[in-house]
Chains A and B, each alone.
Chain A
Amino acid sequence: MVEYIQIAWQGLVSGFAYALIGLALVMVYKTARILNFAAGTMAGISGFLAHWWAAEQDMPFGVAILFAMIMTGAGTYVVERLTVRPLVKLGDFLPIVIMTLGVEEFLANVSLLWWGGTARRYRVPGDIDRINWLIGDFRLNAWHLVVAITTFVTLSIVGYIINQTELGLGMKAFAEDQDAAKLMGIKESTVSIWTWVLSALVGGVTGIVFAPVLFLQQDYMNIIFIKGFVAAILGGFLSLSGGVAGGLLLGELEAFTIKWAPREFAAALPVVIVFIVLLIRPHGLFTREKGHERV
């Protein structure tokens, strides 16, 4: 029994990462109908910055995190203005997707040049990631607890912003109907840029808290990006809570698959899930089918 609880907890922890990235992807897709292929790399750079500043530049951990978040926000602001914004008025999303691919390639190589291709493992101050508590036979890692708390705090803040602030209202308006929102006097470029920044910050938090769990390698967030995307598909890509729930579900599925199935299958699990979901419920597990395209 305890063994299963242990697996379930493990699944939940990875699920948090998928949920957060899924949320970040859905956020931008929902408001701007754009998929940001650079999201994983951007999150990875945030994580690298924070841990690199803290471990190698002797910055206090808290300050390093703060600086990393500021850099993430500012960097995203610049990237959105320089690359995505000029293409939005063309009204075609394909060039934008290609653009984010270019940004991905560019940023990935910047970070490769900066930090090199070898994997590093940074310690957390106080070695929190090495503390393990035993509750009966259940082993609880202290950093995993930090991950859980950070996830809840992040989700609450995002929830607050979406439900209680003007930005959130604008995001919802754009998600509902782009043209109507514009006619109501909501400025598209303002809503878009702050959605991008918010999404990048959520990604940055994920990158930072998961760096000690994974090896910090130049592309360490890519795998989480893929799985975050699978989470978003599970949730129907248009529902924020669906994306989160999809992430947690994927985490659990993965944890239990690794226990019971051969490794080839565990590796292929995300794609298998994508195919099955697209086959049976292309609109996601948690949302109902929307109306049809008008001709």
Chain B
Amino acid sequence: MSDPIEKSTTALERAKIPLPKFLKKNHYFGFLGILLVYLLAGTYSEYSQTIMNTIIFAIIGASLIVVFGMAGQLTLGHTIFVAAGVFLSANITTVWTRGLETELPIAFGVAFLLGLIVGFPSLRVNELYLALATFAVAFVGVQVLFEWKQFSGGGSGKPVGKLELFGYEFSRGPTLVRIALVLMLITFWIVGNYQDGRTGRSWNALRTSETAARAAGLPVAWLKILCFGIGGGLAAIGGVLYAHTLRYAIPENYGVSLSIIVVLALIIGGKHRLMGAVLGAAFVKWLPELSRDVQEYEGLIYGGTLIILTLIAPDGLVGMFEWLGERVKNLKNGSEDGKTLSADEGTAPLESQYLAPLASSEAKGSLIVRDAAVAFGGVKAVDGVSFEIPAGGVTGLIGSNGAGKTTLFNAITGHVKGATGQFILDGEEISQKPIHNRALSGLGRTFQNLNLHDDLNVLEHALLGLDRNMKYGRIAESFRMPWVLREEKNAHYVAAELLDHMDLLEYWNEKVEDLPYGLQKRVDVVRALATNPSILLLDEPAAGLPTAEALEMMEKVQEYANHISAGVLIIEHNVELVAGVSDRIIVLDAGKTIADGTPEEVTRNEQVIAAYLGT
């Protein structure tokens, strides 16, 4: 405690950024609600069947949150996972005469693998196609089940065996509801853990911009397939429960219409929150209980509700309640409570205990570009460019519009296909690697046209950048292991210090789409810096900013790059600015290097003056 650095406040404390905790407020509320239902489940009522169905639909809804709410993959084939659970359960209980201890793992495992296959088209096509491709999967899935009589019993279906767990047989009534509740608790807990961890953050990121997610080093392809695997596996758990409630598995029940209903239910409830899964399930399952008339018009009401909600409350019932809640809060408080940071200045961010260890006196690595070329049709946008960016230091890249600067960046980071030439980072050839692996090798970049994750906040952008150096695995994340939380907490501290350094701390909780342009540019830079890159490629980071502000920002970036000893390559139109910050300038014209030297040499070079600076 004698260390003065530890005593002073950290950026995180000053901005009052909450840390991920083992037990959240949601957990307590969830426990309370479930305890209530658990107690009620014992008293038999005419509604126990509806309670059971609501629980099952909530589990399926939670599994859809993974695929659709987080990763943003609109799937209409989700019922094939439910069907997998149902029919596996029927077969395991009757053919193998085993209980839940066998059904649940097998259902999860099989549906997980099935999900990896179903998720495959998501790599090749856009969301619109995917919606229809999965629609086709649901449609054909039922037909295949129908024809595969050995497994499904064909049109007449298959009975489901006893409800057993490790050889103990249970009566189906209240005990089944309790088992379902426990499974729902586990499902919700797991999905909630993803929401707090790196996987959920990555899914949220790829939903809004895959390009940017790749540049931050996220394995987008794997993440997309994984969301189908996990979503499918969890849905199959709902399927096993469904099998035991219905006691009879009939193929035609698991077709397109059920697929659409589960999606509609989640959208009506709200697709970004676990509470949305509960509300949606409750809406769909309790509405028909109201009266017989309602039963007849069931589908009509779902469709109508969805149409109206999509128009007025795109985030569903949960979104509506949250909006109302905020309204009430604002009425009470009058105005928003101040976002200002506490007056305590704290330590300089770079000397804080979180950023100081990142300092390296030794330059990390150099980038060698050999014969880089990119052609669009007949036009050679980049035509045999070679240079070496030494470790550490700032190199400017200038050239008139269309000189090939951004295309060269895209060639280096892999964002443009068909680029030729060699790129060697830190002695390692990266020319053949996919985008995210180049990022993982230590290539950080920003985008000329802002490429941020619109509905994530500033802090989350920094955390996304930090993902590159996170160690914990996805299975540990599913179960909220202590070391996961430890690492997450540390990442929050680091992110806060980094935001403080870039003067973004007070905006940490703002969605980036609500920020002014200049700040958005800074968020882009923060994300790239957070990856702790060896080489940082900045594509017009100061475009559109007044020179004073641009200079201030560049100083901060330079300071940080020096701190972590990263080399910087910067594209910038403002020659004054570039000359001010760079040790060396490369000039491109029509895809070729026409000058390469110190700022003084370059600005005196006649060819450069003719091509770029003008007379």
Residues of A that sit less than 8 Å from B by CB: 29, 33-35, 37, 83, 86-87, 93-95, 97-99, 101-110, 112-113, 222-223, 226, 229-230, 233, 237, 263-264, 267-268, 270-271, 274-275, 278-279, 282, 291-293, 295
Contacts and interface: CB of A to CB of B under 8 A. Distances in A.
A105 B264 contact: yes
Contacts of B543: none
Most chain A CB within a 10 A radius of its CB, from B120, B124, B146, B451:
B124
A103 B136 contact: no
15 contacts: A33-B128, A86-B311, A94-B127, A97-B131, A101-B264, A102-B303, A102-B306, A104-B303, A105-B260, A106-B300, A108-B299, A109-B299, A109-B300, A274-B133, A291-B376
B508 interface: no
Nearest to A33: B128
Interface string B195-207: 0000000000000
Given A83-B311, A97-B128, A237-B129, 7 more contacts: A29-B128, A98-B310, A104-B303, A105-B303, A106-B304, A108-B299, A226-B140
A295 B139 contact: no
Given A83-B307, A109-B300, A267 B143 contact: yes
Contact of A103 (B132, B146, B303, B447): B303
B410 A267 contact: no
A37 B132 CA distance: 8
Contacts of B76: 101
B417 A292 contact: yes
A226 B143 CA distance: 13
A78 B27 CA distance: 46
B121 A275 contact: yes
A211 B303 CA distance: 25
Nearest to A38: B303
Interface string B279-318: 0000000000000000011111011101100110010000
Contacts of A282: 124-125
B267 interface: yes
B607 interface: no
B contact face: mostly helix, strand, loop, or mixed: helix
A268 B135 contact: no
A168 to B, nearest CB: 23
Given A226-B135, A274-B136, A268 B144 contact: yes
Contacts of B132: 35, 229, 233
Contact of A226 (B139, B296, B304): B139
A222 B447 contact: no
Given A86-B311, A105-B299, A109-B297, A264 B133 contact: no
Interface in B124-168: 124-125, 127-129, 131-133, 135-137, 139-140, 143-144, 146-148
Contact of A295 (B125, B264, B314, B416): B416
State which size class the interface on B falls in: 35 or more
Contacts of B302: 102, 105
B256 interface: yes
Contact of B124 (A83, A113, A230, A278): A278
B603 interface: no
A35 B128 contact: yes
Contacts of A93: 127-128
A98 B124 contact: no
A102 B135 CA distance: 15
B56 interface: no
Contact of B129 (A102, A104, A113, A233): A233
A259 B154 CA distance: 22
B486 to A, nearest CB: 36
Contacts of B136: 226, 229-230, 270-271, 274
B304 A267 contact: no
Interface of B: 72, 74, 76, 120-121, 124-125, 127-129, 131-133, 135-137, 139-140, 143-144, 146-148, 211, 256, 260, 263-264, 267, 296-300, 302-304, 306-307, 310-311, 314, 376, 406, 410, 415-417, 447, 449, 451
A99 B303 CA distance: 9
A267 B306 contact: no
A230 B139 CA distance: 12
A265 to B, nearest CB: 9
A103 B256 CA distance: 15
A98 B128 CA distance: 11
B310 A113 contact: no
Nearest to A105: B303
B311 A295 contact: no
A295 B211 contact: yes
A290 to B, nearest CB: 12
Contacts of B300: 106, 109-110, 113
Contacts of A101: 76, 260, 263-264, 306
A251 B576 CA distance: 66
A95 B416 contact: no
B147 A263 contact: yes
Nearest to B211: A295
Most chain B CB within a 10 A radius of its CB, from A87, A103, A267:
A267
Contact of B148 (A226, A237, A264): A264
A5 to B, nearest CB: 28
A102 B264 contact: yes
A200 to B, nearest CB: 18
B5 to A, nearest CB: 41
Given A35-B131, A35-B132, A222 B310 contact: no
A295 B451 contact: yes
Nearest to A291: B376
Contact of A109 (B263, B303, B376, B415): B303
Closest 9 CB pairs of A and B: A106-B303, A105-B303, A102-B306, A109-B299, A267-B143, A264-B147, A109-B300, A271-B140, A102-B307
Given A101-B264, A109-B303, A94 B74 contact: yes
B299 A268 contact: no
B310 A95 contact: yes
Contacts of A110: 300
Given A94-B74, A267-B144, A103 B121 contact: no
Given A98-B310, A106-B303, A291-B376, A264 B260 contact: no
A264 B410 CA distance: 47
Nearest to A92: B314
A231 to B, nearest CB: 12
B310 A97 contact: no
Contacts of B74: 94, 97-98
B141 to A, nearest CB: 8
B144 A106 contact: no
A35 B76 CA distance: 13
Contacts of B298: 109
A91 to B, nearest CB: 11
Contacts of A33: 128
Contacts of B307: 83, 99, 102-103, 106
A268 B140 contact: yes
A108 to B, nearest CB: 7
Contacts of A86: 311
Contacts of A83: 307, 310-311
